């Protein structure tokens, strides 16, 4: 989000923007576009679109973990992050292969429905989060993703999905009119 403050409203608005953009990308992509290799990844555009959605599923799964770790002493989340970090290589392989397979089943209108449901859930949960909980956080496995930092607040986890989306958005090789 560049220099804009990371507020509840800013996160909500970025999710609205991404929703509109994702719908445009998915509905405008031809079957040829979806089969074309993306730029800078081993995925096709169709697989990368699924992976962009998957980033928000990761956020959804991280929320309870970050809420829990944010209540525990700092060394607990630091140790947990180190354990996750030890599994970086298998994580990357599973991440790559699962998105390849899932994109063959979840695409087009189904992908848009799942995307909308996920963003609706994130926006609803974001609105319900108490301010003090949004400020709590945990240590993260920094080699799992370039947008994971050593320690991230719950608000930063909500924002992470869009950072991940924006990063991969630039790697799509769809018809540039989209």
Mean pLDDT of 7-22: 97
Q: What is the structure's pLDDT at 95?
A: 87
Q: Read off the pTM.
A: 0.92
pLDDT, one tens digit per residue, over 76-96 is: 999 999 999 999 999 989 989
User: Rounded distance, CA 33 to CA 36, Å?
Assistant: 5
Q: Where are the beta strands (DSSP E) in 20-114?
A: none
pLDDT, one tens digit per residue, over 38-75 is: 999 999 999 999 999 999 999 999 999 999 999 999 99
Most confident of 3-7, 98-102, 172-176: 98-102
Q: What is the structure's pLDDT at 1?
A: 41
Burial classification of residue 169, based on how many CB atoms lie within 10 Å of its CB (0-12 exposed, 13-18 middle, 19 or more buried): middle
């Amino acid at each position: 989000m560049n220099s804009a403050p990371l507020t509840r409203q800013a996160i909500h608005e970025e999710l609205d923007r991404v929703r509109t953009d994702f719908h445009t990308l998915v509905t405008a992509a031809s079957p040829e576009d979806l089969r074309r290799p993306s730029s800078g990844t081993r995925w096709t555009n169709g697989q990368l679109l699924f992976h962009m959605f998957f980033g928000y599923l990761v956020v959804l799964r991280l929320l309870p973990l970050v809420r829990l770790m944010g209540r525990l002493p700092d060394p607990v989340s630091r140790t947990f992050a180190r354990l996750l970090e030890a599994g970086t290589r298998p994580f990357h392989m599973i991440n790559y292969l699962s998105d390849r397979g899932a994109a063959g089943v979840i695409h087009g209108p189904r992908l848009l429905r799942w995307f909308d449901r996920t963003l609706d859930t994130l926006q609803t949960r974001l609105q319900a989060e108490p301010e003090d909980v949004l400020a709590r956080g945990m240590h993260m496995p920094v080699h799992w993703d370039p947008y994971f930092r050593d320690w991230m607040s719950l608000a930063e986890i909500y924002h992470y999905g869009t950072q991940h989306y924006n990063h991969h958005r630039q790697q799509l090789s769809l018809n540039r009119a989209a």
